Amino acid sequence: MVNRIGNINNQVNIKSDMAIKTFALNQSNNFSRELAFYKLCEAKDIKQVPHLLDYSNEKQEIIIKYIPGKKPQSLTNFFIGQVADFLSDLNEDDNLEYVPNAAEAILTNKCLASHLKNRLQQIGSKGKYHPKGLTGTVRETINILENKSIDLGAILINPSDLGLHNMILNNGNIIFYDFEYAGKDSYLKLLIDFCLHPINEIKFNNFELYNKTFAKALNIKPLKLSNAVIQAFCLWWVMRLINSMKEEIINSRVNRGLIDQNNISNYVEKRNKQKELFWNYARSF
């Protein structure tokens, strides 16, 4: 029996004790990042990720050990501790010279403003799901960022897309997976992406707790978080969610069996609510 899962960028087939992840031909960067990450974990003997069994550059295919388990439903202190341990092990005594950059990495002061520009260009200045005033707010935020020094924190290895949706609870331990966006990145990006991801349901007044917890695990100084930077990340999420509701994106996901044709309205409703939440966050600063 073969179970098929995945997302718009890849297809995952589960066969007995292995998971075969095949990337779309136009997603070579995602394939390269994920393969590099698994190779790094093998070299470091990191136990919190599935074992890399094989891969094919020609097929853009990665084969890992399939680990059954349950999805964690909330971030308990136990799970947070395991996330911190994973980040610590991943970044212990590492040379970043041969680590590829993470997707939309933030490695310099200019990166965050540049990513906002690119996302605004991606969704356009007007659209069905654009909240009133979005374009002006994004442009104003870009202008602020371009004239502001940002505390990026340490440059490190970021698993990226780190959240409950990419964790499995197996025999009392958390196993992490899905690293197609992973790579060299800033502590700022790692921390804020984790804290803002909708599935993690972390409140703003708890950001500092995660900042101190992860910084301690990584043996670095906690970040000095500014409202302007958090607002920028909220706007980034607004635009990411708007893009995910584009007709061509939805059609692609339907064609790949990732969204049921009869469930499109629920998919859009959920994304739209998340977008409104981030938009309200952005306007609160």
CATH number at residue 166: 3.90.1200.10
Neighbour-count burial for 158-179, b at 16+ CB within 10 Å, e otherwise: bbbbbbbebbbbeeeebbbbbb
Q: Give a yes or no: residue 22 inside a domain.
A: no
Q: Give a yes or no: residue 23 inside a domain.
A: no
Q: For residue range 30-72, what is the model confidence (pLDDT) as tens digits?
A: 999 999 999 999 999 999 999 999 999 999 999 999 999 999 9
Q: Give a yes or no: residue 29 inside a domain.
A: no
Give residue 2's pLDDT: 39
Structural domain of 193: 70-283
Tell me how many degrees the CA angle 248-125-197 measures, rounded to the nearest 5.
Answer: 65
Q: Give a yes or no: residue 146 inside a domain.
A: yes
Q: Per the confidence metrics, is the pTM higher than 0.95? A: no
CA distance 88 to 228: 28
If one counts the domains in the chain, the total is: 1
Extended beta strands in the chain, E state: 2-7, 10-15, 18-23, 52-56, 61-65, 155-158, 167-170, 173-176, 183-186
HSE-up of 232 (CA within 13 Å, CB side)? 28
Q: Give a yes or no: residue 159 inside a domain.
A: yes
Q: Give a yes or no: residue 272 inside a domain.
A: yes
Q: For residue range 78-106, what is the model confidence (pLDDT) as tens digits?
A: 999 999 999 999 999 777 888 999 999 99
Q: Give a yes or no: residue 3 inside a domain.
A: no
Neighbour-count burial for 43-57, b at 16+ CB within 10 Å, e otherwise: ebebebbbebeebee
Closest by CA position to 111, among listed 72, 146, 147, 153: 146
Q: 241 with 274: CB under 8 angstroms?
A: yes
CA distance 85 to 189: 18
Q: 174 with 72: CB under 8 angstroms?
A: yes
Q: Give a yes or no: residue 119 inside a domain.
A: yes
User: Is residue 6 scored above 70 in pLDDT?
Assistant: no
